Structures are given as structure tokens and as C-alpha cells.
Structure 1
Amino acid sequence: MEGAAMSGTDGTGGAAGTGGGQEPWQWDEPTWRGHVGAVRAGRPLRPARWPGGARAAVALSFDSDHETIPLRNDETHPGKLSQGEYGARAGVPRVLRLLRDRSVPATFFMPAVSALLHPDEVRAYVDGGHEVALHGWIHERNTQLTAADERELALRAADTLESLAGRRPVGIRTPSWDFSDHTLAISRELGLAYDSSLMADDEPYEILDHGEPTGMVEIPVEWIRDDAPYFTMDRFTSSRPYTPPRGVLSLWRDEFDLAVEEGGLFQLTMHPHVIGHRSRFLILRELLDHIGAHDVWYATHEELAAYVSRECPAG
């Protein structure tokens, strides 16, 4: 993830969200209902109990974007690329050591170009018992693509991760959480078990496609539980790390504490090139200390999706 996507198209060359050239206040009821109802949250998938009687589920994730964000933006100068390289060179080793020392599994969402640039990193994820999942080809913005281009890049990315990780990915997180009008159909064509890009709940839910259950699990995300909004820095824009790391620790700890109180899910999105810096990495370590004082079930996103599907059958 990183800053908000630029204005996009509907995948066919027209402006996204338009209703036949009309302004939104001119739409008739079927038009605005059609937009709202295209991809919707269905039945909740919070099980009656977590494995081993755990008080909450914890799903940690890392978006290993590395150099792909500047490349996606046609930024090819060494300075921007070095910021991404930091994630692979310094951030990932720190993260993997911490996860190993705490025996915590995680999901790494990785653009295919990032995986091709760092194939040994992909193998390190697999060897560490972690999941490798889809995160686009070059961190593209899906809402700026035609349906055909989005589909081709998704299939190419899946093939690439399969060749490097040794198994085909079963889940997706769209780059920048940019979920187009075509993303769900493409994800279903790929046979994916889950998505982790939407924000309709704190807990997992089944995705509806124009009102019809899909069997596909949504593991919802939120900008509150993402490191990038707090720590992104760009000297040419207004992006500044206004929140001190320990302020973010307080926010995330509160999110976790209420998840435990409600017996639900605590899901967290991080980036090695963001959270991997020393002052930020320390708060991740302290957060895991806090979580470790509670009876929780750590799961990859794949494990979580499989469990809630099994424990919350349809009908």
C-alpha cells in the first residue's frame, strides 16, 4: 500500500464511477444501487471459537513492494529505488528474524517484479513457513487498467510466484488496495480462496458478487492498521511521517485489545521498507511482546481463510 490512487477509469476507457455521463445526483435508483451492490459484504465469518480456545486470531502481513512503487510511477532514479531496496536489504532480514524467534507465521504479499528482483527472498519466506500471496505485477493501479490488461497481469503474476515459491498463490491483496470493477471476476477465475483488499468489517466475511455468494473470503484491511499512512515520506509532496512510532504502537495495541475483548480478528498490514527501520521495528517487537501476553492464534491469511470457511459453512 501507499498513498491514494490517482483518478482512474472503469477498465473500458471511461471514467470510473460514471453513470452514462450523468452527475451522481442525476442517477436513478437502479444506477446508484447497482454501483453499491456490485461487490458487497455477505455473511460474517467469525467462528464460534478459535483453534485451541484462543481469545483472538492474529494475522500479520507484509507487502514486500520494494522497488516496484517507484517503478510503477516511472521513477527510475537511484534515490527512489534505493528506498525500496532498503526493504529487501535491511527490512526483510529484521522481520524474518523476529518472526522466527517468536515462532509467528505471516503472509507476504509480493508484486511479481519484486519477486523476480529478489528470488532468494521468496525462498526465505517459504523456508520460514510463511505464505507468499499475490500483490500485482509491478504494483499497478487496477482502476487505471482495462479488464484485459488487469487479467493478463494477474495471471502472469500468479505464474511467476508459483515458479519462485513452488506453489500457486491462493490469495490476493490488490496493490494500493485498488479493487477495480473487474478484480473480483479475475480473482474468481484464478480460483483464489480469499482477498485482503476491502474494508467492510473488522472480521472476515464472504464476498457477494451482485448479491450472489461467491464462497470467497474477505480478510478485511484498514488504513488504521497499515504502517504506510503514518510513516511515508516524500520530500516533493505533502507526505510526511507526522505520527511518532510510539503513537502508532498505541493505536495498534488498542486495536488488538478490543479484538481480544470481542473474540475477533486482529489483522495488520506492514511493509519491510517502512516498518523495517530501527525506530519503527522496535514498536513491532513491542507489539508482539504485548500480543504474546495473551492467548491468541497466529495464522497466515491462507490458514485464516481456510479455518473460517470450514467453521462457518453456508446455509
Structure 2
Amino acid sequence: MPWKDNYTTSDEIGIFDEAIQWPAGQQMGFGLTVNLNPAATAKGITEKDLAYPTWHFGMTEGLNAFLDLFARTGVKATFAVPAVIADGYLDAMKRILDGGHEIAAQGLFGEDPNTLEAGQEAAHIAQATDILTRVCGAAPKGWFSLSRPDDRFATGAVTDETIALLKAQGYAYFGNGLADDAPYWWVTDFEKSEALLTLPYYYHFDDTFFLMFPRAGVGLERLEPIKRNWRREFQAQYRRGRYFNMCVSPARAGWGHRFTALSEFLTEAVSHPGVWAETGSTLAAHWQANYPSEETLNLAPSIWVDYEDSLS
């Protein structure tokens, strides 16, 4: 279908439950993404974004609480970080890495590349990669374009060129895809069968859309629905032996009763035997080794016909 170009495999056949195997007989893959992007709009981080008290709390008490919780539960998280944030909070980045967690890229300024001039996206990706390589001592393996409530596209902040640019830059995976509930290959060139591994993500498990929604400061939150979503989806994916991802921010879920809810859920989740709660790069490496695109992509021409009056 035209609206799924560069979005998923053209035959749209996902992997069956019985075909999924995790290391050492583990039951399921568990990915926890921590969003360290304070940007309020698609243009990316501004001075105003960094002045909010909630942001300062998130990078101090909130981050401390997150790291302590992850150490307690044995969860290895993936921190999706705009390059300018990584460069401005070097001590925090060191603490994240020292805890065994991963720092992945989330743009140069946490921006939506659709706001950039033609040709700028590649330059921003390259600059962000250089900054994170310097800060972390190694090139980032994952790239995230986490969604905001007003994003134009379901996949968050991406363009038609994003995935191919990331592949050319040497990234191992894209961190937030909506086409499947197990890792899958996002095709960038149909004729050459070129693709980039993509890890699942869904809005229903992202605290951005439930805590202080739609904008920080309006006094709205929906903690009970996101707790329900986390628990029910985890249980479903655990039973099937597939993959579960949740996304949280210390500025939103790092304090008070919100943190209590997060702590209770993570503690409950990892108490299940066989929950492989690892970083995105570790999960991606397992999938690439066991389900390489050369063997699992079965590309076939689309049967879609785009008629003259079609809405697509």
C-alpha cells in the first residue's frame, strides 16, 4: 500500500509466535525506553524547554529514582537522548552508562526532520552521531524518533529518507516502529532488499500520552489507564513469548504516586521467570543474528491498486 511505503515489509507477514526464540530459553523480550527529550514542539529543544522545573526535576531526582529502580529490578534500559542534551549533561550520561544502560540517539535537538530544509536531515544525523560518539566513547547503535501528540505521522518524527540515512550512517536499529509487535525489518530499498531492523513501540505504553497530557502544566493525567495498558499488554506478550516495550520519562513518571506505579509494575513484571529486560542494542543484536533480513524478508510486489478516487 502506498501509505506503507518505507514502513514495513511489502508482504506484511509478521513472525509467528512459535518461531520466536530468546536467548537461554527466556520467555520474552522486554525493552524499556527512557525519553530524555524535553522538546515541546516539532522544531526541537529551546531554551524555554530547559527552564521548566519539571525538566530540572527529571534530570536530578527523577533520574536518580529511575537508575535506582533499574538497579533494583535488574532492568537494562535504553535512554533516547538528543545530542545537545547528552553534551549538556555529561555527568548524567556517565551515570547512565555506568549503570549498564544504553544511550541511543534522538535527533540533534530532538527535532522533527520534517521541519528541516531539504538536505539538512543527513547533516543533523551526522552531527548528532558525532556528538554522541564523543560523549559516550562509542558510536550510538540505535536511533529514536519518539512521537509527540501533534506529530503528523504515525511513526513519529521521520521522513521518507530517515531510515535509509540511518542505515547509511551505520545505525544498527531504529527504536520506535509501529508495524509489528516483534522486531521487524523496515525496508529502505525494495529492489535491493535493503532494510534496517526496527524495534516495536506503541503510544499506549508511552507516558507522554497519559501524564500531563497534552501539555505540561495543564493539570491532567491518566495514570490508571497507562498502568492498565502496561500490565495487560505485558501479560499478553509474555503469554505469547513475544516482545513488550514501554516508554517513560523521569520528568513525568519520576515522582510521587507516578513513580510508585512505575516501580510496582516493573517489580511485578521482572518477577515473571524468563523476562529478558535488555537494552535496545542487545535485543537488536539477538534478532539480527537469529532472524537476518537475508533469510526472513520475503518481498513481493504489492497487490495494491491506487484508483483515481482513492484517498491514498
Matched, 1:173 2:144: yes
* Alignment partner of 2:287 out of 286, 305, 308: 308
Matched, 1:230 2:210: yes
Show the counterpart of 2:26: 54
Identify if the C-alpha distance between structure 1 residues 88 and 142 changes in structure 2 by more than 3 Å, giving closer, same or farther.
Answer: same
Distance 1:236 1:285 in 2: 22
> 3-state DSSP class of the match of 2:177?
coil
Identify if the C-alpha distance between structure 1 residues 147 and 193 changes in structure 2 by more than 3 Å, giving closer, same or farther.
Answer: farther
Show the counterpart of 1:26: none
1:55-90 alpha-carbon deviations (Å, 9 max, x no partner): 111111101124x44795675448953322221022
Identify if the C-alpha distance between structure 1 residues 210 and 278 changes in structure 2 by more than 3 Å, giving closer, same or farther.
Answer: same
Show the counterpart of 1:208: 187
Identify if the C-alpha distance between structure 1 residues 94 and 36 changes in structure 2 by more than 3 Å, giving closer, same or farther.
Answer: same
Matched, 1:119 2:90: yes
Show the counterpart of 1:279: 257
> 3-state DSSP class of the match of 1:62?
strand
Distance 1:78 1:200 in 2: 31
Identify if the C-alpha distance between structure 1 residues 72 and 48 changes in structure 2 by more than 3 Å, giving closer, same or farther.
Answer: closer
Q: Which amino acid aligns with 1:293?
A: S
> 3-state DSSP class of the match of 1:162?
helix
Identify if the C-alpha distance between structure 1 residues 120 and 80 changes in structure 2 by more than 3 Å, giving closer, same or farther.
Answer: closer
1:141-165 alpha-carbon deviations (Å, 9 max, x no partner): 1111134211111111111111111
* Alignment partner of 1:198 out of 177, 192, 198: 177
CA contact (8 A) 2:76 2:100 kept: yes
Distance 2:247 2:215 in 1: 24
Show the counterpart of 1:41: 9
Show the counterpart of 2:200: 220
* Alignment partner of 2:231 out of 243, 253, 256: 253
Distance 2:200 2:45 in 1: 30
1:205-238 alpha-carbon deviations (Å, 9 max, x no partner): 011124353342110211001001001246799x
CA contact (8 A) 1:231 1:240 kept: no
> 3-state DSSP class of the match of 2:238?
helix
CA contact (8 A) 1:140 1:175 kept: no
Distance 2:81 2:215 in 1: 26
1:4-29 alpha-carbon deviations (Å, 9 max, x no partner): xxxxxxxxxxxxxxxxxxxxxxxxxx
Distance 1:309 1:76 in 2: 39
Aligned-residue offset at 1:298: 1.3
Q: Percent of aligned pairs with the same residue?
A: 25
* Alignment partner of 1:128 out of 99, 108, 132: 99
CA contact (8 A) 2:201 2:246 kept: yes
Q: Which amino acid aligns with 1:83?
A: T
TM-score (norm 1): 0.81
Aligned-residue offset at 1:41: 3.4
Show the counterpart of 1:10: none
Aligned-residue offset at 1:137: 1.0
Distance 2:286 2:196 in 1: 13
Show the counterpart of 1:20: none
Distance 2:64 2:139 in 1: 24
Q: Which amino acid aligns with 1:207?
A: W
Identify if the C-alpha distance between structure 1 residues 76 and 216 changes in structure 2 by more than 3 Å, giving closer, same or farther.
Answer: closer
Show the counterpart of 1:99: 70
Deviates more, 1:119-128 or 1:46-55: 46-55
Aligned-residue offset at 1:252: 0.5
Deviates more, 1:88-97 or 1:78-87: 78-87
Identify if the C-alpha distance between structure 1 residues 71 and 308 changes in structure 2 by more than 3 Å, giving closer, same or farther.
Answer: closer
Aligned-residue offset at 1:123: 0.8
Distance 1:240 1:121 in 2: 28
Which structure 1 residue ranges, 5 or more long, are not aligned?
1-32
TM-score (norm 2): 0.82
Which structure 2 residue ranges, 5 or more long, are not aligned?
148-155, 296-312
> 3-state DSSP class of the match of 1:219?
strand
Aligned-residue offset at 1:138: 1.1
